[in-house]
């Protein structure tokens, strides 16, 4: 059965494919928890919540220029520890590129990053110091 109208002309299979693509672009309902130090994936868009009971040292590699441009990563802390995120020379804050983001020792500290041209543009940050 085909659906037709002024803006659509798809069959049931095409509609299913379009809906699945839309669902895949929605943010995760429950963000993954970061419970230990380690790498944040530079190829998976999403929200990451740090839940560890001590300060964690996270790393983030360069995004692949032209392949994942526009990909967004949101990292937030739910614990009162000074976590760090190292992305050597990759964090663009509006000043010189920086290597390290240090979260305030307060729940809610965090940042949102967007991949572009092999770097991470800092879209916003709360309680984060860049060096």
Write out the DSSP string of 51-79.
--SS--EEEEPPP-TTTSTT-EEEEEE-S
In a domain, 51, yes or no: yes
For residue 114, which phi and psi values (nearest 5 degrees)? -130, 130
Confirm whether 87 is domain-assigned: yes
**Residue 63: inside a domain:** yes
User: What's the total number of domains in the chain?
Assistant: 1
Residue 36 lies in a domain: yes
The CATH number that applies at residue 54 is 2.60.120
The stretches of the chain forming alpha helices (DSSP H) are 12-25
Given a cut of 80, is residue 59 above it in pLDDT?
yes
Query: Comparing 32-46, 54-68, 86-100, which segment has the lowest mean pLDDT?
Result: 32-46
Domain membership of residue 78 (yes or no) is yes
Per-residue pLDDT band for 27 (boundaries 50, 70, 90) equals low
Find the domain containing 117 and state its range.
30-130
Q: Kindly state whether residue 122 falls inside one of the protein's structural domains.
A: yes
What percent of the chain has pLDDT above 70?
73
Asked if residue 69 belongs to a domain, the reply is yes
What pLDDT is stored for residue 33 in this prediction?
63
Structure tokens at 25: 């672009």
112 within domain boundaries: yes
């Amino acid at each position: 059965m085909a659906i037709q109208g002024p803006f659509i002309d798809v069959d049931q299979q095409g509609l299913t494919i379009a809906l699945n693509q839309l669902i895949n672009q929605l943010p995760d309902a429950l963000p993954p928890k970061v419970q230990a130090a380690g790498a944040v994936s530079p190829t998976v868009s999403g929200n990451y919540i740090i839940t560890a009971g001590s300060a964690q040292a996270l790393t983030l590699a360069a995004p692949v220029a032209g392949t994942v441009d526009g990909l967004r990563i949101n990292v937030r802390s739910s614990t009162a520890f000074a976590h760090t995120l190292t992305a050597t020379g990759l964090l663009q804050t509006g000043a010189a590129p920086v290597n390290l983001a240090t979260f305030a020792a307060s729940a809610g500290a965090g940042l949102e990053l967007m991949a572009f041209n092999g770097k991470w543009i800092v879209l916003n940050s709360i309680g984060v110091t860049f060096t």
